Amino acid sequence: VTHIWNGAQMFLQWMKRLITFSYMTMCYLNGKILPLDEARVSVLDRGFMFGDGAYEVVRVYSGNLFLFQEHLNRLEKSLEGLDIKTVDIREVERVGKSLVAECNSKEATLYIQITRGSPTKRSHAYEENYEAKEKPTIFVYAMKFNDSNLSLRKNGCMIRSFPEVRWGRCDIKSINLLGNVFAAQFAKRNAVYETVFLGQDGLVTEGSHTNVFAVLNGRIRTMPKSPRILPGITRDKVLEIAEKKKLVVEEWGVTLDELLGASEVFLTGTSTEVMPVIQCDGKKIGRGEPGPITRELQSAYNKLFSL
Ligand code: PDD
């Protein structure tokens, strides 16, 4: 009887493990696949010490990685900008695809983070040819995405402006995100969706995690690509759609006054998608409802992943 009882207990334990395992988020860290909450890096990792690394967030719709190649290309550019070498991007691609295939949800995001690695002592400057000794830290995981923006995308969101406090290389998708953290927290405290950065020259550069567009006299305006903004993948797609629709696009900076007086304003981003803005700094944008050009671009963008 004891034997049967013990056997049954063991069987139940294995079943429990199996069930937890299938619900557990798995990740890739430096060549190994393991549960997310078991992944560990050194306290000397240059990502932890200096924010010395780059990242990407890719959206997964119905189990498919959306614009994955574009994100990988940008990741390569970020790594080049940071002088982080020896990353096999094809390996990152393969790992990303396999984690998405194993993910317990078809609606997910894939997060990729690469740092310069973990040396044996802390020093701001890294050794020239450090890559001969140290490997970069590569971390990837896919996680279920709960889209909490459905009604905001339909009805429009509110934003606030905030001084540009970031560094001079915002074109690199660096894991150094303190300025963005300040801005996102400011949005949260003020119960708005996003904060947009306002440069000392009066131009609205981008949001804490989005790019910004305004419609002025029927023309679409957005900050040109430069070290002042992240070259958004969604931004590129929306510009491509606008061109196909023969809408007039001007890649020029927008001042805060212009933004407040625009007939339409919208944001773009991987998880934000195309988001109408109906209020900025407490002032109504246009008629205070999503405008026709925003709607047109939004519905064309949505078609790209909901075919
Ligand atoms: N954020 N600007 C900044 C500062 C961003 O961090 C992001 C993306 C964007 C939009 O880029 P894209 O269209 O390629 O997502 C613009 C990601 C999603 C994040 O940090 O979660």
- Which ligand 1 atom is nearest residue 211's CA? 16
Tell how far the Cα of 36 is from the centroid of ligand 1, in angstroms: 23
Which residue would you say has higher pLDDT here, 200 or 15? Answer: 200
Mean pLDDT confidence for 123-139: 94
Tell how far the Cα of 171 is from the centroid of ligand 1, in angstroms: 11
Answer yes or no: is pLDDT of 190 > 70: yes
Distance between CA atoms of 223 and 155, rounded to whole angstroms? 25
**For 8-22, 181-195, 209-223, which range has the lowest pLDDT when averaged over its residues?**
8-22
pLDDT at residue 24, as a whole number? 86
**Nearest C-alpha to atom 6 of ligand 1 is from which residue?**
209
**Nearest C-alpha to atom 8 of ligand 1 is from which residue?**
209
Share of the chain above pLDDT 70, in %: 97
pLDDT 10s digits, 16-49? 666 665 678 999 999 999 999 999 999 999 999 9
CA-based nearest residue to 254, from 237, 272, 234, 277: 277
pLDDT at residue 176, as a whole number? 97
Supply angle C-alpha 35, 38, 39, rounded to 5. 90
Tell how far the Cα of 77 is from the centroid of ligand 1, in angstroms: 15
Answer yes or no: is pLDDT of 62 > 90: yes
Mean pLDDT confidence for 283-307: 96
Tell how far the Cα of 119 is from the centroid of ligand 1, in angstroms: 29
Residue 53 CA, distance from chain mean position? 15
pLDDT 10s digits, 229-263? 999 999 999 999 999 999 999 999 999 999 999 99
Query: Active-site residues: which are they?
Result: 173
Supply φ then ψ for residue 70, to 5 degrees.
-60, -40
**Nearest C-alpha to atom 7 of ligand 1 is from which residue?**
209
Q: Between β-strands 249-250 and 64-65, what pairing exists: parallel, antiparallel or unpaired?
A: unpaired
Out of 211, 229, 234, mutate this one to test ligand 1's pocket (max ligand atoms within 8 Å of CB): namely 211
pLDDT at residue 218, as a whole number? 97
CA dihedral 73, 79, 81, 84 (to 10 degrees): -150
